[in-house]
Structure 1
């Protein structure tokens, strides 16, 4: 039996955080959801918690955020040790429809997939299943 993943939502929009948290709990039966308001908080959470958690980590990462945006997060994430990056999938979130930005995101070796906001929980579940 596969262990349930731990989720980390990195998004500065508290409404999006609330909606994703509720959807994940109710529709996907997710039990552990952690929140970070920007990429810097997300990196700190990973550094403080990843080695304490044996379960897979699923990160939902917004692109446009203050302090550290999603693209800068990916640059900083690249510098982390492999022990912190083990068994982790990153899904990028954006309301952007810029084709160049989407292709740039999809070509990043750490990004499992790109999801448009507002997130469709069924679409996310389908993509999550195909990536596991």
Structure 2
């Protein structure tokens, strides 16, 4: 796995954020994990903090959130003009594998889906798949 400098975790559940952030920080090769409670805050973080030296490598995105959900975030993200966006992998975190739920993301720039809850095995598999050495 290549070293990841920044992961953006977008989820409205503070307990899930704490657990997931702790899991991600324990992985050798991950420098920073930033959290956002909804898609709107995540977009603001991307617009304000993204630079050539500070682009998230990975966004882990929940679907169901208040203010701006995962689908609305991805629609806005698709239009977002930030440097290095083409290198960011977006993975949708979900509790549903129902085709109807996943079809909403068909024309959006996502790299895949991952079922909740996150585990170290799921994270390792994700990182090996999308960020091979």
Give the shorter-chain TM-score range: 0.7 to 0.9
Partner Cα distance (1:24, 1:38) in 2:
19
Secondary structure in structure 2 of the residue aligned to 1:60: strand
Partner Cα distance (1:84, 1:48) in 2:
14
Partner Cα distance (2:16, 2:128) in 1:
22
Which blocks of at least 5 consecutive residues in structure 1 are unaligned?
none
- Number of residues paired by the alignment? 131
- Given that 1:9 and 1:35 are in contact with CA atoms closer than 8 Å, whether structure 2 keeps it comes out as yes
Secondary structure in structure 1 of the residue aligned to 2:51: helix
Which blocks of at least 5 consecutive residues in structure 2 are unaligned?
none
**Which whole-Å deviations, capped at 9, do the CAs of 1:41-97 have from their partners, x for residues lacking one?**
000000011115345521000000000000000010011115251320101001123
Task: Tell me the equivalent position of 1:131.
Answer: 130
- Given that 1:61 and 1:91 are in contact with CA atoms closer than 8 Å, whether structure 2 keeps it comes out as yes
| Over 6 Å off, 4+ runs | none
Give TM-score, length-normalised by structure 2: 0.86
Give TM-score, length-normalised by structure 1: 0.86
Secondary structure in structure 2 of the residue aligned to 1:86: helix
Name the Cα RMSD after superposition: 2.1
Between structures 1 and 2, the one with greater helix share: 1
- Given that 2:2 and 2:29 are in contact with CA atoms closer than 8 Å, whether structure 1 keeps it comes out as no
